[in-house]
């Protein structure tokens, strides 16, 4: 089976949605006539199905848009033809994304027809993570892994279900900077990174988690390891900065101390190698993190296909715990998510997207949330000062609105993806499901990170926001 057409449509659909809503440089107008949306770049016009541009909408088979009357079904080709700023860079990312998405879909076994996956024993720590095949539901670079070959992706990406051998390298104590409880001067490297750095050492078996460069060691079920790799995953090179090494232990301890509604997975220690010039080398760094319980499910997996029947995993929760009522399920999930959004009132914005938030179930219903990875959170400068918290890098913000925007944007994607999936499967009205999960959401625009606008900007990592209604 050729998986490329479906992957091409999926990435193009995400791009089309971004053109419909994001503040992308060069767009001068948007108009609607009947079922057709037109996005104007001066005298040039991209037009297509207005409903396919809706957030989380699955693209129809053979999906295409038109640019100046010419049909495009390939997202990279469309961006190159538009010739906007940084088009070549972004188009290369899109090419890589759709290739890797096709590889991911091709690697999945057919549904086994067995009992619901939710009720089965969890075979290993990465099981739920491996179910997320399509990546970020709104980002056209959902599967971008620039720097990795197709063989590399098959060897190391979680959706291909590998066990990899981490590499342990001894570091001279004088060149080892460690924080928190401290780590011995031994750097754990991702094998892909070790090969590029030309170093070797004892192997240590581990399974990659959803982020690929964070892994669950088989010999230490209580911890995960965040490693550094010189590859671009979605939007950024996934090295580990000195700021991450310094922030992790104190920030996770601080969050655990002020939040009793969500379990913060602490980062008890981290380490980074100092170069010959004494500067920390972000290519050679690691973070030790507490592991969640094995039955904690990343929220992104709840919209992913169940290995039992191929339908969204959340449907199994709706059936088992709520007698088929998706609104009741989302209301319970929403009450848990509000623990994350309420932290913004205290000046803390968690990056609470489907990869960083996990949920455990009790009697078939959402029971407790777990949060991991503080690299993308935002903490108001006044909050940091009040608690005597020293922050490094860009975690500290002088904008008092940024923490709320950060957490609301992430939560909106989590809820929106599940609302869309459950509405398609059950016939429920999406608006009713949104209101159940997030009361009051229909009275205000909801922020969402404008990932395509960011990729086409001069600084592709500076946050830009759009809105969902």
Instruction: Please report the domains of the chain, with CATH numbers, ordered by start residue.
Output: 4-96 (no CATH), 147-290 (no CATH), 297-438 (1.10.510.40)
| Cβ contact 233:241 at 8 Å | no
**Range of weakest confidence among 241-255, 331-345, 376-390, 435-449:** 435-449
Q: Is the pLDDT of residue 469 over 80?
A: no
> What is the predicted pLDDT for the residue at 442?
66
* Segment 137-143 mean pLDDT: 98
Backbone angles phi, psi at 244, to 5 degrees: -65, -40
| Cβ contact 210:292 at 8 Å | no
Q: What is the pLDDT of residues 225-252, one digit of tens each?
A: 999 999 999 999 999 999 999 999 999 9
| Cβ contact 283:239 at 8 Å | yes
The string over 271-281, giving b where at least 16 C-beta atoms fall within 10 Å of a residue's C-beta and e elsewhere, is: bbbbeeeeebb
Q: Is the pLDDT of residue 199 over 80?
A: yes
The Cβ of residue 172 has, within 10 Å, a number of other Cβ atoms equal to: 9
The string over 4-29, giving b where at least 16 C-beta atoms fall within 10 Å of a residue's C-beta and e elsewhere, is: bebbbbbbbbbbbbbbbbbebeebee
Residue 350, H or E segment? none
178 is written with which tokens? 């460690």
Q: What is the DSSP string of 353-371?
A: -TTTEEEEEETTEEEEEEE
| Cβ contact 349:378 at 8 Å | yes
pTM for the whole thing?
0.96
| Cβ contact 272:280 at 8 Å | yes
> What is the predicted pLDDT for the residue at 61?
85
Q: What is the pLDDT of residues 80-139, one digit of tens each?
A: 999 999 999 999 999 999 999 999 999 999 999 999 999 999 999 999 999 999 999 999
> What is the predicted pLDDT for the residue at 426?
97
**Range of weakest confidence among 20-34, 236-250, 365-379, 443-457:** 443-457
Q: Is the pLDDT of residue 441 over 80?
A: no
Helix-strand-coil split of the chain, %, nearest 5: 35, 25, 40
Distance from C-alpha of 390 to C-alpha of 109, rounded to nearest angstrom? 47
Q: Is the pLDDT of residue 24 over 70?
A: yes
| Cβ contact 316:425 at 8 Å | no
Chain mean pLDDT for the chain: 96
Please say whether the dihedral angle defined by the alpha carbons of residues 153, 285, 456 and 88, taken in this order, is positive or negative: negative
């Amino acid at each position: 089976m050729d998986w490329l057409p479906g992957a091409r449509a999926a990435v193009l659909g995400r791009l089309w949605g971004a053109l419909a809503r994001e503040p992308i440089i060069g767009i001068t107008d948007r108009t609607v006539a009947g079922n057709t949306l037109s996005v104007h770049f001066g005298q040039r016009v991209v037009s297509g199905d207005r409903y396919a541009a809706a957030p989380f909408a699955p693209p129809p088979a053979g999906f295409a848009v038109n640019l100046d009357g010419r049909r495009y079904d390939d997202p990279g080709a469309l961006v190159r033809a538009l010739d906007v700023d940084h088009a070549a860079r972004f188009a290369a990312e899109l090419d890589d994304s759709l290739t890797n998405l096709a590889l991911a879909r091709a690697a999945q076994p057919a549904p086994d027809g067995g009992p619901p996956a939710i009720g089965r024993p969890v075979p290993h720590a990465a099981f739920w993570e491996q179910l997320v095949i399509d990546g970020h539901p709104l980002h056209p670079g959902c599967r971008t892994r620039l720097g990795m070959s197709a063989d590399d992706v098959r060897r190391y990406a979680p959706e291909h279900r590998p066990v990899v051998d981490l590499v342990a390298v001894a570091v001279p104590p004088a060149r080892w900077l460690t924080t928190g409880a401290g780590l011995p001067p031994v750097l754990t490297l991702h094998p892909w990174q070790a090969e590029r750095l030309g170093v070797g050492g004892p192997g240590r078996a581990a399974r990659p988690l959803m982020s690929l460069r964070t892994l669950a060691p088989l010999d230490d079920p209580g911890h995960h390891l965040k490693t550094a790799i010189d590859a671009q995953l979605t939007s950024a090179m996934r090295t580990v900065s000195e700021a991450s090494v310094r922030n992790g232990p104190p920030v996770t301890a601080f969050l655990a101390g002020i939040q009793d509604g969500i379990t913060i997975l602490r980062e008890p220690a981290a380490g980074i190698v100092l170069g010959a010039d004494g500067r920390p080398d972000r290519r050679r760094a690691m973070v030790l993190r507490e592991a969640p319980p094995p039955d904690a499910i990343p929220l992104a997996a709840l919209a992913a296909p169940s290995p039992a029947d191929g339908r969204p995993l959340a449907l199994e929760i709706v059936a088992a715990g709520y007698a088929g009522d998706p609104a009741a399920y989302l209301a319970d999930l929403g009450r848990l998510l509000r623990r994350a959004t309420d932290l913004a009132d205290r000046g803390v914005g968690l990056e609470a997207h489907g990869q960083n938030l996990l949920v455990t179930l009790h009697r078939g219903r959402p029971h407790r949330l777990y949060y991991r990875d503080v690299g993308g959170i935002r903490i108001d400068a006044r909050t940091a000062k009040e608690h005597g918290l020293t922050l490094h890098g860009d975690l500290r913000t002088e904008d008092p609105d940024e923490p709320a925007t950060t957490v609301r944007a992430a939560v909106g994607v989590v809820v929106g993806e599940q609302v869309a999936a459950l509405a398609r499967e059950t016939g429920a009205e999406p608006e009713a499901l949104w209101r159940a999960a997030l009361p009051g959401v229909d009275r205000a625009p909801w922020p969402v990170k404008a990932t395509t606008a960011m990729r086409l900007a001069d600084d592709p990592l500076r946050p830009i926001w759009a809105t969902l209604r």
